[in-house]
Structure 1
Amino acid sequence: MTSPARRSFERKMAAKAGNSAQRPGALASPESGPAATAYQLKLAALGNDLRQLSNTQSLETKIALKRGMIDTYRPWIEGALRSEKPAQDEIVGTMLVWAIDIAEWPLALDLARHVLAHGLALPERYRRTPATLIAEQVAEAGIGADPTVDLATLQQVDALTEGADMPDEVRAKVKKAIGLAFKARADTFDPTAESGMAGGRSALIAAAIANLTRAVALDDKCGVKKIITSLEAEAKRLAADAIKDAAKAEGAAA
């Protein structure tokens, strides 16, 4: 386990790396000095970890390994996030992807904001722009058989990447994941809960329909048309029930 002194040192070096790496008109990694040395040491450790992951075939095992490995890089991440002038940093970019992979959403969101706000690139092996990768991988965590991402995180990712250029199919995945998350809330809606959405189950269904409809507009083959039809039928039923209940209440009051 890394000592507290070592963790503190790495935080300071990561923060300094940004300030010492600036070049006119571009972001660059540090080339000399203590920060550069510390960065190269972390990159060497990352290279070893990436080779171990590459030699592992089981996805489940890879996720477990990343959960253990990521702690080694937390001090560096914390320092990089504090940097006044962030530099191009392969460690930060890799840990962003790992945080998404292991569903550590608070860390993933912090790193996503950092990378997007400062125009940092991801390591070349990921072959996508940061916004596209963030949007797609987080969305995919919400559209599987067992979603691992919450609605609030999906909405934050949608907002963070809103103005970014990406394939329509990727944006459709985000809207689909948000729509399915609203549907899941509607399916388990408890009208007695204080945290319930204003407007109740009808509002949740309406939000689900709106997001799923947007997904279809972006990608006609995104696979949610039957879900929309079912939700629209349920919305009509709830509206009819609300009219009946209002009529009964009015009759009772008379």
Structure 2
Amino acid sequence: MSHARAHFQRASAAKASALVGDDSPVNCSAYELMLVKLAEDRRQLKLVHSMERKAEVKRAVLPDYLPWVEGALQADSGRPDDVVTTVMMWSIDAGRFDTALDIAEYVLRHNLPLPDKFTRTPATAIADQIAIAAKIARDGKQSFDARILVYTHELTKGHDIPDAARAKLHKETGLLMAETDPVAALEHLRRAQQLYDSVGVKKDIERIERAIKNSAPPPSGGQA
């Protein structure tokens, strides 16, 4: 994308977000053009069956949308915008977590709805998908940045999320922290079990409790 095109998208998003009507979605020709592109990319994604390949496609097309998203976030109007919310979800799928959470802060602060095709609330969808991404990394013995999980907790705190979804986020956070901060890990895992007993962390809790106990220094003693 050329610098001129990117500038046009940022300016168009800011202008669309500044239109009169606080509760109405953005509505201008530039926005409609973005929706047309979004629909075409969705059609292309439907032709792809591999989830790994879908993530690759999303990584490839996301830069085309970022100038629009930047303009919308800078305007900070809080208007419903299917482009912004879809890019947020696609960024998670594509592993672009910093981008996704930057958008999520805006979406959650303004309580923006997700497009109709999504059945979950934004907060639930964000917590769910971030936890799933962390689990996929854990199952594949790949690294995952703990700060992504911590920030997801902060962003979704206070939002109404099903207990099972919140528990999964606590579980992945606890398991990721188990080696570096076992005390904090234990807190997350206990909270996960409290929220959803079937989340499957009982053995992990016992394992970390033993590790903490075994690493404690022996009691000091000696003769006076």
Please state which band the TM-score falls in when normalised by the shorter chain. over 0.9
CA separation of 1:123 and 1:21: change in aligned 2, threshold 3 A: farther
Q: Indicate whether 1:42 and 2:34 are aligned.
A: yes
The residue identity in structure 1 corresponding to 2:14 is A
TM-score (norm 1): 0.83
Q: Is the 8 A contact 1:105 1:149 kept in 2?
A: no
Within the candidate set 171, 180, 187, 2:175 is matched to: 180
The alpha carbon displacement at 1:50 in A equals 0.1
The residue identity in structure 2 corresponding to 1:29 is P
Partner of 2:74: 82
Instruction: Tell me the distance in 2 between the aligned counterparts of 1:7 and 1:233.
Output: 55
Q: Is the 8 A contact 1:116 1:131 kept in 2?
A: yes
The residue identity in structure 2 corresponding to 1:106 is D
Partner of 1:243: 218
SS of corresponding position for 2:185: helix
Partner of 1:30: 26
The alpha carbon displacement at 1:22 in A equals 2.5
Instruction: Tell me the distance in 1 between the aligned counterparts of 2:11 and 2:79.
Output: 14
What pairs up with 1:128-167 in 2 under 5 angstroms?
Answer: 128-144=120-136, 145-146=139-140, 149-167=144-162
Q: Indicate whether 1:68 and 2:64 are aligned.
A: no
The residue identity in structure 2 corresponding to 1:96 is M
**CA deviation profile, 1:197-246 (whole Å, cap 9, x unmatched):** xxxxxxx111111110110011111111111111111111111xx126x5
Q: Is the 8 A contact 1:141 1:148 kept in 2?
A: no
Instruction: Tell me the distance in 2 between the aligned counterparts of 1:228 and 1:57.
Output: 37
Q: Is the 8 A contact 1:131 1:166 kept in 2?
A: yes
CA separation of 1:15 and 1:149: change in aligned 2, threshold 3 A: farther
How much identity, in percent, do the aligned residues show? 39
TM-score (norm 2): 0.93
CA separation of 1:219 and 1:93: change in aligned 2, threshold 3 A: same
SS of corresponding position for 1:143: helix
SS of corresponding position for 2:95: coil
Partner of 1:12: 11
Structure 2 unpaired stretches of 5+: none
Partner of 1:201: none
Q: Is the 8 A contact 1:19 1:86 kept in 2?
A: no
Instruction: Tell me the distance in 2 between the aligned counterparts of 1:22 and 1:106.
Output: 31
CA separation of 1:57 and 1:175: change in aligned 2, threshold 3 A: same
Q: Is the 8 A contact 2:168 2:192 kept in 1?
A: yes
Q: Is the 8 A contact 2:26 2:81 kept in 1?
A: no
Aligned positions, number: 221
Within the candidate set 184, 199, 202, 1:225 is matched to: 202
Q: Is the 8 A contact 2:82 2:115 kept in 1?
A: yes
The alpha carbon displacement at 1:140 in A equals 1.4
CA separation of 1:43 and 1:148: change in aligned 2, threshold 3 A: farther
Instruction: Tell me the distance in 2 between the aligned counterparts of 1:55 and 1:30.
Output: 29
SS of corresponding position for 2:117: helix
Q: Is the 8 A contact 1:172 1:215 kept in 2?
A: yes
SS of corresponding position for 2:18: helix
Instruction: Tell me the distance in 2 between the aligned counterparts of 1:87 and 1:149.
Output: 33
The alpha carbon displacement at 1:94 in A equals 0.4
